[in-house]
Amino acid sequence: MARHVVAPVGDIPAGECKLVSIAGRAIVVFNVGGEFFALNNRCPHRGGSLALGKLTGLVESPQPGEYCYSRRGEIIRCPWHAWEFDIRTGRSWCDPQRLRARQYAVSVEPGAKLVEGPYKAETFPVSVENDYVVVEA
Amino acid sequence: MNIELKQPLRAAKSKLAIVDCDIHPRATLEDLRPYLSNHWWHYIQTYGLRPRHGHVKGYPFPKPTPLASRRDSWPPGGQPASDLDFTREQHLDFYGIEHGILNPLAPSGQGDQNADLSAALAFAINEWQTADWVRREPRLKASVVVPYEDAEASVKEIRRRAGDRDFAHVLLLSRTSEALGRRRYWPIFEAAVEAGLPVGVHVFGYSGWAMTGTGWPSFYLEEGVENATTTQTLIASMIMEGVFERYRDLKVVLIETGFGWLPALGWRLDKHWERMRDEVPHLKRPPSEYLREHFWVSTQPMEETDKPEQLIDVMKWIGFDRLLFASDYPHWDFDDPFVSLPPSLSEAQRRAVYADNARALYRLG
């Protein structure tokens, strides 16, 4: 495990995601209302790219005829077979024990701290004034 | 959304030859205009299409994704599988597809209530497939789309394409307005046999009848599983009516029907035949023998069983020489060639399903 600076915070606005490559792994980083989460980009069902999926919420129903929509923006639906994954945990809705996208720890760090290391070298300059998204992978 | 990665071509990893038996190119009516007479272009502009279902401008059932397609399959400015270069890059080259069979679904005129318009659109979509796809991309083969509710017009279209190696098979949709074994459809089978072409039956289509014996179901999910019952009906009809006694060289390809239910259908047909054989004395053999001799089945949508050996047992019953790999590109329930078949298949079984069966059936060089 190493910590990788993947983007300035401003590069991933709330409600969006960014696909990054860390040591050959495709990892998708989500900004859910200011909180950042990172999942392996490969859908554990059949391999679709989660970064190209639809960011959505959860439709649930206490009984036939009643619907509720919750957790807006916290569910990613695979662009292929529409499997739903909880961005906060990586677990699929339909089979949470077996089908889960690998999750990576994410933190937001001030540039001033990153300049001191120990972090992986990145392809963009880190300035002390900005905050950065850091993925542990 | 930022996308920085481009996955490497997965084709490079695979030595397995792949024939994809179900690719859906999508035309717009404007694309078909060069192949329609002024009369029909004017007619479409003025009066429009007349499908047999109640939702003229949309789907009878809402789909889970726009145009029922993979969300990553939209080329810039166009619809999924409307652009040959994008289709090459995302699918044919990406997976190293050796050959692909085109099965255009809509607009193709099939099932339109105006019989002459139905025939004109079928002709146009066949011209479009060859001009815009097959002649530009030799890996692809077209379907002879026929206005199947009008056997005479269908025969004309099949004869027009007979001998043209750009076409792989005759294409019908599964929900015909009468059971498919009825004699009104026999001229289509006869012309297909004469032309040396298999008859592909792709699921969906709207006949005007409700799709189940108890009406229209409420949900798209139900429509998806209903395809199995329609297909069971057409198989039983074709066998019971004696189609395969009359047309012994007829080959039927079931496309996107699923196949987990096929053995049960065969068992049940045989059981009833043993007791009521004299009702259908024109049948000379148990129904399941016709089934296994005359029908090929495409793999997508693959049943996903918890125990892969159950799926393999089903495949063995159908016959590993009868299964044809299909991806259904660009639709949302697309099967990725590299992860869809059970990994425990033998090398010989994989070669048969991925390519050899389709090469033999469609005489692919």
In chain B, % of residues over pLDDT 70:
96
Q: What is the fold, at CATH topology level, of the domain defined by B13-362?
A: TIM Barrel (3.20.20)
CATH class given for the domain over A3-136: mainly beta
What is the secondary structure of B268-285 as a DSSP string?
Answer: HHHHHHHHHGGGSTT--S
Distances (CA, A) of A107 to A75, A104, A113: 20, 10, 12
> What are the extents of the domains in chain B?
13-362
**In the predicted structure, residue B8 carries a pLDDT above the cut 70:** no
| pLDDT of the residue at B55 | 78
Give residue-wise pLDDT tens across range B245-286.
999 999 999 999 999 999 999 999 999 999 999 999 999 999
* Cβ–Cβ gap A52/B4 under 8 Å: no
> Would the CB atoms of A79 and B72 count as touching at under 8 Å?
yes
Tens digits of per-residue pLDDT, B42-53? 999 999 998 888
Question: Quick check: B1 pLDDT over 60?
Answer: no
What's the pLDDT score for residue B4?
45
Summarised one tens digit per residue, pLDDT across range A84-111 is 999 999 999 999 999 999 999 999 999 8
Residue B235 has φ and ψ, to the nearest 5°, of -65, -50
Does residue B12 belong to the interface with chain A, where contact is any CB pair within 8 Å? no
Residue with tokens 């229209």: B216
Contact B334 A80 (CB under 8 A): yes
Q: What is the 3-state secondary structure (H, E, C) of A51-101?
A: HHCEEEEEEECCCCCCCEEEEEEEEEECCCCCCEEECCCCEECCCCCCCEC
The DSSP bridge pattern shows strands A54-60 and A68-77 to be antiparallel
pLDDT tens-digit map of B141-166: 999 999 999 999 999 999 999 999 99
Tens digits of residue pLDDT in B62-110: 888 999 999 999 999 999 999 999 999 999 999 999 999 999 998 999 9
DSSP, collapsed to helix, strand or coil, labels residue B3 as coil
DSSP 8-state class, residue A123? S
Q: Which sequence spans correspond to the domains of chain A?
A: 3-136
**CA–CA separation, B92 vs B69, rounded Å?**
17
The single-letter code of the amino acid at B164 is D
The mean pLDDT value for A125-136 works out to 88
- Residue B317 touches chain A, beta carbons under 8 Å: no
**Measured between CA atoms, how close is B218 to chain A, in angstroms?**
13
A36-63 pLDDT, tens digit each: 999 999 999 999 999 999 999 999 999 9
Spatial neighbors of B138 by CB under 8 A, at least 6 apart, are none
Give the model confidence (pLDDT) of B174-222 as tens digits.
999 999 999 999 999 999 999 999 999 999 998 989 989 899 999 999 9
Peptide bond into B281 cis (omega under 30): no
CA distance, residue B72 to nearest chain A CA (Å): 6
| B150 three-class SS | coil
Helices B308-318 and B262-276: crossing angle in degrees, nearest 10, is 50
pLDDT in tens, A3-37: 899 999 999 999 999 999 998 999 999 999 999 99
3-class state of residue B227 by DSSP? helix
